[in-house]
């Protein structure tokens, strides 16, 4: 049986981004990323558990592949145009998924 998860991404102090911890995922589960403080974007730079490597907060994505996946988070705060998120000076603006078959 597949489950649906919503991963919350938070804007911290208006200067960095942090994602809530992810549960262990299974193939067939669906995931949606969301941020109450703005529009979220998630990027999987070294492989994705989904059919795409860039995810936006308005879509559900179905887990397709097992493995360990690290992702980077970005948020465009409500009313702003400048995105805040992962960069070499803030490498913790992201999260990890563990996907089992």
Domains and CATH numbers, the chain: 4-100 (2.60.40)
pLDDT surpasses 80 at 91: no
Mean pLDDT of 34-50: 94
Task: Answer for the pair 72, 54: CB distance below 8 angstroms, yes or no.
Answer: no
At 41 the pLDDT is 93
CA 88 to CA 21: how far, in whole Å?
A: 21
CA 31 to CA 20: how far, in whole Å?
A: 13
Residues in CB range of 72: below 8 A, 6 or more apart: 42, 43, 44, 45, 85, 86, 93, 94
At 87 the pLDDT is 83
At 93 the pLDDT is 87
Name the pairing type of β-strands 84-85 and 67-77.
antiparallel
Q: What is the mean pLDDT of the chain?
A: 92
pLDDT surpasses 80 at 58: no
| DSSP character at residue 96 | E
């Amino acid at each position: 049986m597949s489950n649906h998860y919503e991963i919350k991404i938070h804007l911290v102090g208006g200067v960095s981004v942090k994602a809530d911890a992810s549960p262990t995922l299974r193939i067939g589960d669906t995931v949606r990323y969301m941020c109450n403080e703005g529009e979220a974007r998630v990027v999987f730079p070294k492989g994705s558990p989904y059919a795409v490597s860039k995810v936006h907060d308005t879509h559900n994505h179905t887990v397709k592949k097992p493995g360990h996946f690290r992702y980077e988070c970005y948020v465009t705060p409500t009313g702003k145009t400048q995105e805040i998120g992962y960069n070499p000076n803030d490498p913790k603006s992201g999260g990890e998924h563990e996907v089992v078959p």
